[in-house]
Amino acid sequence: MKRWLLLLIPFLISFAFYQPLWGQDEEEYPEEPIIFTKPVKAVVFDHKKHIEDAGLSCDDCHDELFEMAAGTAEENEDFNMEALYNGKYCGACHNGEMAFASNRKCTTCHIGVLGWQRMQGTPKKGKHH
Ligand code: HEC
Ligand code: HEC
Ligand code: HEC
């Protein structure tokens, strides 16, 4: 019994320190890309690419540009290219300064119907982009 407890101590200690630090700066974000299907099928948004590759933090998007609930933006009438060109939603950054402009590289965001079908079929996303 004592031995068992001793073995457990390092785990408990590292847990006690690790958990609060983790909770403070990096909350959990969805691992799988979010796919928008309205009004057009389909647009891909990948948290991982924005957070780990581009180095953004939650505050850069939540909750001013986007709610932390998939499907919210899609309910808005103005979730379209015009809004993006006017600096709303993705267009707040995809303006040619902070990130590639919304009127360029259409297919980087738009994966189309085929891309959408492919993503439904594959549980783990491939790293092709
Ligand atoms: C570059 C912008 C951006 C950043 C940075 C970002 N998010 Fe998001 N997040 C989104 C978008 C877009 C959605 C989908 C919102 C919608 O559909 O209306 C979303 C949705 C979510 C959701 C809901 C998922 C679901 O299935 O309902 C959670 C949880 C979330 N984000 C957590 C985070 C956390 C935690 C961070 C920081 C580590 C973060 N996000 C950083 C853009 C971002
Ligand atoms: C807070 C700023 C910000 C917002 C908001 C944002 N992005 Fe990005 N995005 C970036 C940055 C920075 C990059 C990386 C630099 C680049 O590619 O120009 C990036 C890259 C991307 C990429 C390329 C990823 C890759 O490497 O394959 C896609 C696709 C993308 N964003 C889609 C979206 C979509 C769709 C939305 C809205 C739902 C969105 N982004 C909202 C900042 C943002
Ligand atoms: C930064 C990501 C991004 C880029 C780049 C982008 N789009 Fe979009 N697009 C979106 C999002 C987000 C929506 C709304 C969600 C949906 O329809 O699935 C959308 C919606 C649309 C729509 C339907 C709504 C509307 O405005 O009529 C069309 C058409 C469209 N895009 C065409 C284009 C074309 C053409 C290009 C290139 C010139 C382009 N998009 C580039 C993200 C992007």
| 66 Cα: distance to centroid of ligand 1 (angstroms) | 7
Q: What is the pLDDT of residue 27?
A: 80
- Tell me which residue has its CA closest to atom 38 in ligand 3: 103
Distance CA 103, CA 70 (A): 24
pTM over 0.85: yes
pLDDT digits (tens, 9 = 90+) for 77-112: 999 999 999 999 999 999 999 999 999 999 999 999
Q: 32-121: which CATH number, 3.90.10.10, 3.30.230.10, 3.10.310.30, 3.40.50.300?
A: 3.90.10.10
Closest residue CA from atom 2 of ligand 2: 93
Least confident window among 7-11, 43-47, 93-97: 7-11
